[in-house]
Structure 1
Amino acid sequence: MITLKKITLHAVLTALASLLYMQAAMAGIAIEHWIQPSGAQVFLVQSHAIPMVDVQLDFDAGSRRDPAEQAGLASVTASLSGMGVLANPARGEAALDENALGEAWADLGASFGGHASSDRMSFALRSLTYPDLLSQAVQLAARQLAEPAFPQNVWQRERETMIAAIKEANTRPATLAQRAFDQAVYGSHPYGYDTTEASLQRIETSHMAALYRQSIQPCRAKVTLVGALTRAQADTLVTQLLARLAGPETAAAASCPALPALAEVAPLKQASEQRIAFDSAQAHVLLGQPGYKRNDPDFFAMLVGNYILGGGGFVSRLTHEVREKRGLSYSVYSYFEPGLHAGAFTIGLQTRPDQADQALQVSREVLARFVTDGPTEAELQAAKDNLIGGFALRLDSNRKLLDNVVNIAWNNLPLDYLDTWTQRVQGITRADVKAAFQRKLQPGKMVTVVLGGAGGAPT
C-alpha cells in the first residue's frame, strides 16, 4: 500500500511542476523521438526536477472511424476499457472488476484511463517515478491496456445512464443548436455524427472488443512521455506497456496493415440557414463552415487572425461590435477546431430573440470585413503580444507540456515546434492573416443556425 506521506508528496510535486515548466518554456524543450521494433513511435521530454512521469498512448481509433449506425462506439469502448480486466491464468492473475481495479490504482497513488476524441483513442498514465511504484503502475497499466473485460453488466448500466443523459441534453437549446450546426457543416462526414439512444442500442460489448483488437496495437501507437526518465528508461517503460498487446500478428511494424482511408470534409457549395423554434429566453446563434486541418501551413496566421476576430475575448472585433457598441449579447466568440480533417469554424452568441437578426447581421458584416481587409497593424501587434506573452502558461505543468508534445506527435509537426512557436507568431504579417483567411473562409457560403424565439417544441 502506498503511504499517506507519498500521496501528500505527489500532490506537492504536482504543484511544484508549474514553476519548473514555466522555466522550461523559456529555456527551450528538447524532444527525443524514436521508433521501436514493433513500430510504436516514442516521443520523450526528460525533466528530472521532480520524480513524476506522464505518459499518453494515442491510436487512430477516434469517433471519425465510428460506423454511422453506431455513433459513439469509440467513446464507449475507451470508457469501458477501464472498468475491469480479464483473468490471466497463465500469469496467475485473477480478474479485476471496476471496483478492484480502482482500488489497485488508488493504492499506487497513480492513475490510468482512456477516452476517445474525434481523431484518436488515448490512454493516459500518471505515476511517481520511485522504482517500486513505477514498476507496479506500468505492470497494471499494461494489463488494463491489453486485457479489458468489457463487462456486459457494466455496459447495460452505463448505456442506460448515457441514454438518460442524452434525453436530458435534448431539452437544452444549446445541444439542439450545436447538433443542427454540426450536421449542416459536416454533412455525412463522421465529424458530424451524433451519439443517440438508437446508436447506443446498436452497440454491444462484442463490437467494442472487435474495435479494440483491430486498433489498439503496438504498431499503431504514438507514445509521449514527459518526466523524470532517461531515454533508456522511457524505452523500457514503453516496451513494458505494450508487451501484452504484442502477438504474432503485431510483433513488427511491417505486419501492421494500413487502416482504411477516410474522405475529407466536403466544402460547402452554398449558404444555408435554419430557424428552429424553441421556447427559450435566449436565442442561440451559430454561423460557420468547415475550416482547415491542424497541420495546415496557415495555422499560425489563422491563430493570430482569429484572436483578433473573436478568439481574444473582450479585445476581439466581434465583442467590440456586437457587445460593446450595440449591447446585443453578453459574449460572442469565434474559433477553429482543426484536426486530421477540416474542423469547423464557428461564430457563436446568445441574445434576446428579438435581437437575433440584428446580432447575426452585425456578426456577418464583421466577418466579411475582416476576410476582405484583414487586421489593422495595431490589432495585429496587440494579438501577437498577448499570444507570445501567454506562451509560458501553455507549458506550466507536466500535463500541459505533455498535451503540447502529443500535439506534435499526432499531427506530425516538427520536433522544434515549441522552440520556434513564438518566432512563428511574431513573424505573422497583416498580409499573411488576410491571405490565409481569404483562402480558408467564404462568408457567402456559410451555415447559419438560429434556435429560439418562438413557442412550441424544437423542430
Structure 2
Amino acid sequence: MRTKHLLISIILSLVSVQAFALVPIKHWQTSQGGQVYFVASPGLPMVDIRLVFDAGSARDGKHHGIASLTASLLETGAGQWDVDQIAQQFDAVGAKYGHATNRDTSWVGLRSLTQADLLAQSVDTFQAIISRPQFAQAEFQRIKEQKLIGLKQQQEKPGFIAKKTFYQSIYSEHPYAHLVAGDAESLRQIQLSDIKQFYQQFYVTKNGVLAIVGDLTQQQAWQIAETLFKQLKPGENAEELPQVNLPKKSKTEHIDFPSTQTHILAGMPVLSRKDPDYFPLYVGNHILGGSGLVSLLFNEIRGKRGLAYSAYSYFSPLEEAGPFTMGLQTQNKQSNIAVEVMQKTLADFILQGPTEEQLIAAQKNLTGGFVLRFDNNRKLLNYIAMLAFYQLPLDYLDTFSGKVANVTAEQVKSAFQRRVKTNLLQIISVGGL
C-alpha cells in the first residue's frame, strides 16, 4: 500500500509540474512602489485586472460595515462622471467592473477587451474609480439605505442569524467577530466623513497589490500598472491584525426561531493562509466533510440516518486564524441527535485519522480537479490575487498538487489532533423547539 501511495504521489507531482510550467507568474514593483503580479494568457483578446487592498471588514474598527460600504460607493461617481456615466463608459467598450469585500480584503476589478482603444478607455475609467471617487452625499445615503434594508431582510433568515452568532462566539472581541456587512446600529452611525477617512487610509499604494491575467505582453501589463498606481497616494501598510485567541471552553447555544428547520454551525478558529499545517488539514477536511456525497459527515448524517439533506465542513484560511466550520440543516425535532452525530464523527476522525484508502481517494480527487479551478482567466485571477495578497510563493500553483500528494495519513491525524479541539467547539443552532 505504501508503494502504491508513493507512486501516485510521484505521478501527481509530475502532472502538476506539466500543468503549470507554461503559465509563470511575473512579479515586479512599479515606479510608485506598487506590487504587481502578472500572468500572460494569450488566446482570447481579454484581460482581467484586480486591485486588492488590505481593507476588509477586519479594518472596520468601531464602524462595522464601513469597509463594504466604502467599496460599494467607489463606482457611484468618479472624476467627472456620475454613476450612470461610469456605467456608460464601461458599456461603450464592452468592459465590466466588479468589487467585493471579505474579512481581510476589499478589491476592485476590471474585465476588458485588449484592443488598444477599448482597453485605454476601460483603464482610464477604472483609474478614476480607484483614485478619484466623488463620494457624493446623495449616493452615500442611497447605498447606505440599501445596505440597511438588506440587513433587515437577512435578520429574517435563520441561516444568517446562525452565522452571525457563530462568528461572535468563536472570535469574541477580535476584528473577525462581526459580519462583513456589519450591523444596522453601526451602519446608521457611519458618516460620509468616515468613508472618506477610511478610503484615504487604506486605498493607498503600499496597502494594495495588483493582479493581471490576460492576453497582454509584460510591457503592456507594466504600462497598465503604472497608470493605475500613479494617482494613488503612497500611504502606509495597514497595521498587523491582533492574534486570534482560542475560545476558553466549548459552548452550545440555541436561538429560538419560528422555522421548521434548525440551522446548525459548529467550529473554532484554526487556519491561516501560511499555516504549516495547511495541507494536512486541507486534505483531511476533504475526507471529513469537504467532498460532498462521499464525506464522512455526509455518510453518517445523511447516508446512514437521514437526519439532513447535506452535512459539510470546511476551513476558511485568513491572514490570522480563520474558522473551521461544520454545518447542516435538519428538522427541529432531530437537531439534538444531529449535533451528537456530528460531534462523534469529528471526534472519531481526530482519534483515528484517515485510512490509506480514504487518503489516496482524497488526493486523487483534489489534484485531479485542481486545474479545472482556474481553467479560464477569471478563475486564475482569483488565485493570483490570493497568493499576491498573502505573499505566498510564486510557485504556489506549481507545487500545490505535489504538496497535496505528499501528505500522509499520520500528518492528517497529527494536525487534526493538535489543531481541532473538540473541547473548544462553539456550537450554534437556530430554529424551532
Same fold (TM over 0.5): yes
Write out per-residue CA displacement over residues 142-166 of structure 1, whole angstroms, 9 at most, x where no aligned residue: 1121111112112212222221221
Q: 1:183 aligns with which of 154, 158, 168?
A: 168
Mapped to 1, the partners of 2:69 and 2:390 lie a distance apart of 24
Give the C-alpha shift of residue 26 in structure 1: 5.6
Give the C-alpha shift of residue 104 in structure 1: 1.0
Give the C-alpha shift of residue 221 in structure 1: 2.3
Match of 1:35 in 2: 29
Q: 2:367 aligns with which of 388, 394, 419?
A: 388
Match of 1:438 in 2: 417
Q: 1:213 aligns with which of 154, 177, 200?
A: 200
Give the C-alpha shift of residue 278 in structure 1: 1.5
Q: Is the 1:226–1:398 contact (alpha carbons within 8 Å) kept by the matching residues of 2?
A: yes
Taking the TM superposition and a 5 Å limit, the aligned residue runs for 1:167-246 are 167-194=152-179, 195-246=182-233
Runs of 5+ consecutive residues of structure 2 not aligned to the other structure: 1-15
Structure 1 residues 161, 24: closer, same or farther in 2, change over 3 A? farther
Mapped to 2, the partners of 1:349 and 1:436 lie a distance apart of 24
Q: 2:397 aligns with which of 418, 425, 436?
A: 418
Structure 1 residues 124, 291: closer, same or farther in 2, change over 3 A? same
Mapped to 2, the partners of 1:167 and 1:284 lie a distance apart of 19
Mean CA deviation greater in 32-41 or 360-369: 32-41
Give the C-alpha shift of residue 220 in structure 1: 2.4
Tell me the SS of whatever aligns to 2:176: helix
Question: What is the alpha-carbon root mean square deviation over aligned residues?
Answer: 1.6
Tell me the SS of whatever aligns to 1:428: coil
Give the C-alpha shift of residue 27 in structure 1: 5.0
Tell me the SS of whatever aligns to 2:163: helix
Q: Is the 2:89–2:121 contact (alpha carbons within 8 Å) kept by the matching residues of 1?
A: no
Structure 1 residues 427, 24: closer, same or farther in 2, change over 3 A? closer
Match of 2:11 in 1: none
What amino acid is the match of 1:414? P
Give the C-alpha shift of residue 426 in structure 1: 0.8
Mapped to 2, the partners of 1:451 and 1:144 lie a distance apart of 41
Match of 2:78 in 1: 85
Give the C-alpha shift of residue 25 in structure 1: 4.0
Mapped to 2, the partners of 1:111 and 1:450 lie a distance apart of 40
TM-score w.r.t. the length of structure 1 is: 0.88
What amino acid is the match of 2:73? L
Q: 2:105 aligns with which of 108, 117, 120?
A: 120
Q: 2:429 aligns with which of 436, 445, 450?
A: 450
Mapped to 1, the partners of 2:263 and 2:31 lie a distance apart of 52
Q: Is the 1:280–1:452 contact (alpha carbons within 8 Å) kept by the matching residues of 2?
A: yes
Mapped to 1, the partners of 2:353 and 2:206 lie a distance apart of 45
Mapped to 1, the partners of 2:346 and 2:353 lie a distance apart of 10
Mapped to 2, the partners of 1:84 and 1:238 lie a distance apart of 22
Give the C-alpha shift of residue 303 in structure 1: 1.2
What amino acid is the match of 1:352? Q
Mapped to 1, the partners of 2:128 and 2:17 lie a distance apart of 36
Mapped to 2, the partners of 1:180 and 1:393 lie a distance apart of 35
Give the C-alpha shift of residue 201 in structure 1: 0.9
Match of 2:6 in 1: none
Match of 2:124 in 1: 139
Tell me the SS of whatever aligns to 1:138: helix
Q: Is the 1:371–1:437 contact (alpha carbons within 8 Å) kept by the matching residues of 2?
A: yes
Structure 1 residues 24, 197: closer, same or farther in 2, change over 3 A? farther
Give the fraction of aligned pairs with identical amino acids, expressed as a percent: 40
Write out per-residue CA displacement over residues 9-43 of structure 1, whole angstroms, 9 at most, x where no aligned residue: xxxxxxxxxxxxx9994654201111123221111
Structure 1 residues 258, 225: closer, same or farther in 2, change over 3 A? closer
Give the C-alpha shift of residue 213 in structure 1: 1.2
* 1:75 equivalent in alignment to 2:68: yes
Q: Is the 1:39–1:220 contact (alpha carbons within 8 Å) kept by the matching residues of 2?
A: no
Taking the TM superposition and a 5 Å limit, the aligned residue runs for 1:289-308 are 289-308=268-287
Mapped to 1, the partners of 2:132 and 2:211 lie a distance apart of 22
Write out per-residue CA displacement over residues 414-456 of structure 1, whole angstroms, 9 at most, x where no aligned residue: 11111111111111110111111122100111101122232xx
Mapped to 2, the partners of 1:50 and 1:352 lie a distance apart of 49
Mapped to 2, the partners of 1:324 and 1:264 lie a distance apart of 39
Give the C-alpha shift of residue 50 in structure 1: 2.1
Mapped to 2, the partners of 1:215 and 1:24 lie a distance apart of 39
TM-score w.r.t. the length of structure 2 is: 0.93
Mapped to 2, the partners of 1:453 and 1:79 lie a distance apart of 36
Tell me the SS of whatever aligns to 1:81: helix
Match of 2:55 in 1: 61
Mapped to 1, the partners of 2:293 and 2:20 lie a distance apart of 28
